[in-house]
């Protein structure tokens, strides 16, 4: 694919993402953050396998930033112990991603993917209840 075509595809994807973000409810935004993080971790794993250290570092830096956004979205006062446990888990995942970046540690990426997959599954499962209750407004 030519560089002009790649730029056009990237621009289209950015517009689509911006539109999704603008219309998503808070529950949907968190799901988008989780999905983006999982997608980037998978891409970083491919970079490790292919020896593309620069792209891997950029992707994992982005993942750590997304994890920080997820942590920042937690209401530790109203969420109590559950929110604190999730905050601690996000912190652990961020540290594992940093380890994966420094050591090209595929196992750390696999562990992070597993943990994020469990969080995402639970998040998706509660979506209908949260939306019908209007709890995230």
Distance CA 127, CA 136 (A): 10
The answer to whether residue 100 sits within a structural domain is yes
What are the tens digits of pLDDT across the range 66-80? Answer: 999 999 999 999 999
What was the pLDDT predicted at 129?
A: 82
Q: Domain range spanning residue 97?
A: 25-133
DSSP string, 65-110: HHHHHHHHT--HHHHHHHHHHHHHHHHHHHHHHHHHHHHT-HHHHH
Max Cα-Cα span within the chain:
51
Give yes or no for residue 15 having a pLDDT over 90. no
**What tokens were used for 53?**
């250290």
Encode 65-87: b = buried (16+ Cβ within 10 Å), e = exposed. Answer: ebbeebbeebeeeeeeeebeebb
Query: Which of 62-66, 76-80, 87-91, 126-130 has the weakest average pLDDT?
Result: 126-130
The answer to whether residue 94 sits within a structural domain is yes
The answer to whether residue 5 sits within a structural domain is no
The answer to whether residue 45 sits within a structural domain is yes
The answer to whether residue 9 sits within a structural domain is no
Task: Say which CATH number the domain at 88 has.
Answer: 1.20.120.340
The answer to whether residue 71 sits within a structural domain is yes
Question: Which of 119 and 134 is assigned the larger pLDDT?
Answer: 119
**What tokens were used for 114?**
């597993």
How many structural domains is the chain composed of?
1
The answer to whether residue 8 sits within a structural domain is no
Report residue 28 CA to chain centroid gap: 13
Give yes or no for residue 58 having a pLDDT over 80. yes
pTM for this model (two decimals) = 0.81
The answer to whether residue 101 sits within a structural domain is yes
């Amino acid at each position: 694919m030519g560089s002009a075509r790649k730029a056009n595809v990237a621009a289209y994807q950015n517009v689509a993402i911006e539109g999704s973000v603008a219309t998503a409810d808070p529950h949907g935004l968190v799901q988008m953050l989780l999905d983006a993080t999982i997608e980037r971790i998978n891409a970083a794993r491919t970079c490790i396998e292919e020896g593309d250290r620069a792209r891997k570092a950029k992707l994992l830096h982005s993942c750590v930033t997304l994890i920080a956004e997820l942590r920042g979205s937690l209401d530790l006062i109203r969420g109590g112990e559950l929110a604190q446990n999730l905050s601690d888990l996000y912190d652990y995942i961020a540290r594992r991603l940093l380890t994966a970046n420094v050591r090209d540690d595929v196992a750390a990426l696999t562990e992070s993917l597993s943990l994020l997959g469990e969080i995402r599954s639970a998040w998706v499962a509660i979506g209908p209840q949260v939306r019908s209750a209007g709890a995230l407004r």
